[in-house]
Structure 1
Amino acid sequence: MIYKKSERELAYMRDAGRIVALTLRELEKVIKPGVTTGELDAIAEAFIRRQGAEPAFKGLYGYPASICASVNEQVVHGIPGARRLQEGDIISIDVGTVLNGYCGDGAATFPVGTISSAAARLLRVTEEALGKGIEQAVAGNRLSDISHAIQQWVEDHGFSVVRDFVGHGIGRKMHEEPQVPNFGPPGRGPRLEVGMTLAIEPMVNEGSYEVQVLEDNWTVVTRDGKLSAHFEHTVAVRDGAAEILTRP
Structure 2
Amino acid sequence: MTIENEEQLQRLRAAGRVCSVARDAMAAALRPGITTAELDRIGATIIEAAGARSAPALTYDFPGTTCISVNEEVAHGIPGERVIAAGDLVNIDVSVELGGVFADTGASFLVGAGDPRLARLVRDGKRATWEGIRAVRSGSELAGIGDAIGAFARKHGYSLLTNLASHGVGDSLHDEPREIPTWPDRSERRRIADGLVFTVEPFLSLGAREAIDAPQHDGFTLHARPRAATVQFEHTVVATPRGAVVVTL
Q: Same fold (TM over 0.5)?
A: yes
Match of 2:92 in 1: 93
Deviations 1:180-219 (A, max 9, x none): 1111247942221221001110111211313321111211
Match of 1:209 in 2: 209
Deviations 1:110-139 (A, max 9, x none): 121122110011111111111011011101
Once residues 208 and 197 of structure 1 are traced to their aligned partners in structure 2, the CA distance between those partners, rounded to angstroms, is: 28
* Structure 2 spans left out of the alignment, 5+ residues: none
Contact 2:195 2:240 in 1 (8 A): yes
Match of 1:48 in 2: 47
> Identity percentage over the alignment?
33
Match of 1:115 in 2: 114
Which residue, out of 217, 236, 240, partners 2:238?
A: 236
Contact 2:209 2:226 in 1 (8 A): no
Match of 2:220 in 1: 218
Contact 1:59 1:65 in 2 (8 A): no
Alignment of 1:1-248 (within 5 A): 3-7=1-5, 8-178=7-177, 179-185=179-185, 188-214=188-214, 215-247=217-249
CA displacement at 1:62 relative to structure 2: 2.6
Contact 2:208 2:230 in 1 (8 A): no
| TM-score, length basis structure 1 | 0.94
| TM-score, length basis structure 2 | 0.94
Once residues 202 and 133 of structure 1 are traced to their aligned partners in structure 2, the CA distance between those partners, rounded to angstroms, is: 8
Q: 1:48 to 1:77 in 2, by over 3 A?
A: same
* Structure 1 spans left out of the alignment, 5+ residues: none
Once residues 189 and 41 of structure 1 are traced to their aligned partners in structure 2, the CA distance between those partners, rounded to angstroms, is: 39
Once residues 200 and 72 of structure 1 are traced to their aligned partners in structure 2, the CA distance between those partners, rounded to angstroms, is: 22
**Would you say how many aligned residue pairs link Structure 1 and Structure 2?**
245
Once residues 53 and 181 of structure 1 are traced to their aligned partners in structure 2, the CA distance between those partners, rounded to angstroms, is: 29
Q: Which moved more, 1:74-83 or 1:151-160?
A: 151-160
CA displacement at 1:61 relative to structure 2: 1.9
Over aligned residue pairs, what C-alpha RMSD do you find? 1.4
Contact 2:19 2:248 in 1 (8 A): yes
Determine helix, strand or coil for the equivalent of 1:79. Answer: coil
AA at the equivalent of 1:148: D
